[in-house]
């Protein structure tokens, strides 16, 4: 079991969830506060997603 790959997968899943939640907030937003919340969740989702994918790609597969 490779701990770095597992952590990368968890970060990737959290990033996807954050991006989906940001899109859900953005689709139903009418006020400025909701837009700000959607941007925050979107940025955090992108950061988690990119870091998770990068961690999975850089980690060597050892048997």
The domain limits of the chain are 3-58
Residue 1's pLDDT is 57
Residue 16's pLDDT is 97
C-alpha–C-alpha distance, residues 36 and 1, integer Å: 39
Residue 63's pLDDT is 62
Which pLDDT tens digit goes with each residue over 16-29?
999 999 999 988 87
Directed axis angle between helix 3-27 and helix 32-58, to 10°? 160
Residues of the chain short of pLDDT 70, as ranges, are 1, 63
């Amino acid at each position: 079991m490779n701990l770095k790959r597992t952590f990368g997968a968890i970060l990737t899943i959290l990033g996807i969830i954050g991006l989906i939640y940001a899109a859900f907030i953005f689709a139903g937003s009418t006020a400025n506060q909701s837009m700000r919340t959607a941007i925050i969740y979107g940025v955090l989702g992108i950061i988690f997603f990119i870091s998770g994918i990068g961690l999975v790609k850089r980690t060597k597969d050892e048997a």
